[in-house]
Amino acid sequence: MPDFEQTIMVREEDLDDLNHVNNVRYVQWIQDIAKAHWQSLAPEALRKSVAWVVMHHDITYKSAAKLNDELRLVTYIEKNRGAVSVRIVEIFDGNTNALLVRSSTKWCLLNAETFKPMRIPEAIMTIFKRN
């Protein structure tokens, strides 16, 4: 399956005191695209049987985005091991294609009833396998 993409426009409420996109907003977008990717591919029964929680965010800020910038967000699963999935999110300037932000997030898969970690099943790995 190809990488999952979304395009967003920077709005005034996304900005910090320096008139750049606030770092907290980037974290929100990273989580939002991860959720959208999951919901776009996982069948409803699977989505109801498991839950994902963040264990660790590693974010590199390379350049600032500003008001009215068009941003292209791209995400994919880099690897899975046991109960942990490593998801990459890259945020690009929509006009120049310059990389603005790159994140690597470790997500842990939980059983939705017990909230205990569970090994990522082949069904999930197959859905998110990159070509």
Task: State which residues form the domain around 15.
Answer: 4-127
Contact 47, 39 (CB under 8 A): yes
pLDDT tens track of the chain, all 131 residues?
Answer: 569 999 999 999 999 999 999 999 999 999 999 999 999 999 999 999 999 999 999 999 999 999 999 999 999 999 999 999 999 999 999 999 999 999 999 999 999 999 999 999 999 999 988 86
Taking the alpha carbons of 101, 28, 12, 95 in that order, is the dihedral positive or negative?
A: positive
Residue 5: strand pairing partners: 74
Taking the whole predicted model, whether its pTM rises above 0.75 is answered as: yes
The bridge status of strand 50-61 relative to strand 70-81 is: unpaired
CATH of the domain at 40: 3.10.129.10
Number of domains within the chain: 1
